[in-house]
Structure 1
Amino acid sequence: MDTQIQFLAELNQLMDKLSFLSRDQLRVALKGYKAAEVHTIEFIGQHPDTNATTIADALYVTRGAVSKMTKRLIDRGLITRYQKPDNQKETYFQLTQQGQTIFATHERLTRQFMQRDMPVFDENPQEVAATLNFLHEYNQFLDQQVEQQK
């Protein structure tokens, strides 16, 4: 149990530090946009032809929350909704030009942050591989737990 507590504490501390180190640049570059808006834009930008269910499942939020978020993003001119000619039942989302700009800005900053952190990954490839393996297994376990909650 102590190892689990220590692992989760270290993971939380790591996420807090990553957030702290990126916060000011993100705040300046993406001024006026909330983190949840940027995350939704990022997901839509990375997953063309996405719908509300896909977004909700990926971001672990309700479809109602996605509905509110997509309405706000549409109102702000960041995304549009559309239907495919062969499927008039489903509504899909895509980025507008303004949404693409936000997406590209976030991607650029993410690449800069990754470049900053690259030395620790380059110096420890075996540890990184082992950690990735463990995180993958842990995620699979949590996926099972999530499915049981649905």
Structure 2
Amino acid sequence: MDKEEQAMMGLWNIFKKRMWLDSFKMKDRLKGYNPSEIHCIAYIGKDEDSNVTKLAESFDMTRGAISKLTKKLVKKGLIESYQKLNNNKEVYFKPTEQGKAIYNIHEEMHKEFKDRDQPFFEQVTEKQLDVILDFAEKYNIHLDTEIKKLGVDIKFDKL
């Protein structure tokens, strides 16, 4: 295995381990909710005036899939829909009190994950972080170019 493959494998392993650790704890604290529901609530909690279009773009899902997800969240009492006085065509979403509780747990968990990893990052130098950030930026630009060649417009930066 060459260094490029080792680097990609190392990044992939970091991603898988982090996802496993995070989801292990989230599954315990957020029982009864699937990841798409939790992340939709989190997005709506952070982004005032969330609507189907914004959510579809953010999650790279169809508007139909988002409509189905938001209807499910409304039915569960986690979000509610509303319209603005000057725009009765567009439907927006905001979390209910129950949805805010889920949002707060989600935010607390992200803080816990950051705190868990902080001792490691305290050992990483500014120069090392700059190298990683430079690599990530350049590789993302490369991948965006490859995606555009396929004629697809996907935005992953909100996830």
Residue in 1 that maps onto 2:93: 93
How far apart are 1:53 and its partner, in Å? 1.0
Identity %: 37
Which structure is higher in helix share?
A: 1
Q: Which runs of 5+ in 2 are unaligned?
A: 154-159
How far apart are 1:114 and its partner, in Å? 0.6
Residue in 1 that maps onto 2:157: none
Residue in 2 that maps onto 1:122: 122
SS at match of 1:123: coil
1:59 aligns to 2:26 (yes or no): no
State the TM-score, normalized to the length of structure 1: 0.88
Residue in 2 that maps onto 1:78: 78
Distance 1:139 1:115 in 2: 27
- In the alignment of these two chains, the number of paired residues is 150
Residue in 1 that maps onto 2:7: 7
Q: Which moved more, 1:73-82 or 1:85-94?
A: 85-94
SS at match of 1:149: coil
Alignment of 1:93-112 (within 5 A): 93-112=93-112
**Per-residue CA shift, 1:22-77, capped at 9, x if unaligned?**
23321111000001111111111111111111111111111111111101100000
SS at match of 1:77: coil
Which residue identity does 1:123 align to in structure 2? Q
Distance 1:62 1:94 in 2: 20
How far apart are 1:20 and its partner, in Å? 2.1
Distance 1:145 1:97 in 2: 43
Q: Which runs of 5+ in 1 are unaligned?
A: none
Residue in 1 that maps onto 2:113: 113
Structure 1 40/116 Cα, relative in aligned 2: closer, same or farther at 3 Å? same
1:134 aligns to 2:135 (yes or no): yes
Structure 1 75/42 Cα, relative in aligned 2: closer, same or farther at 3 Å? same
Distance 2:27 2:63 in 1: 27
How far apart are 1:19 and its partner, in Å? 2.0
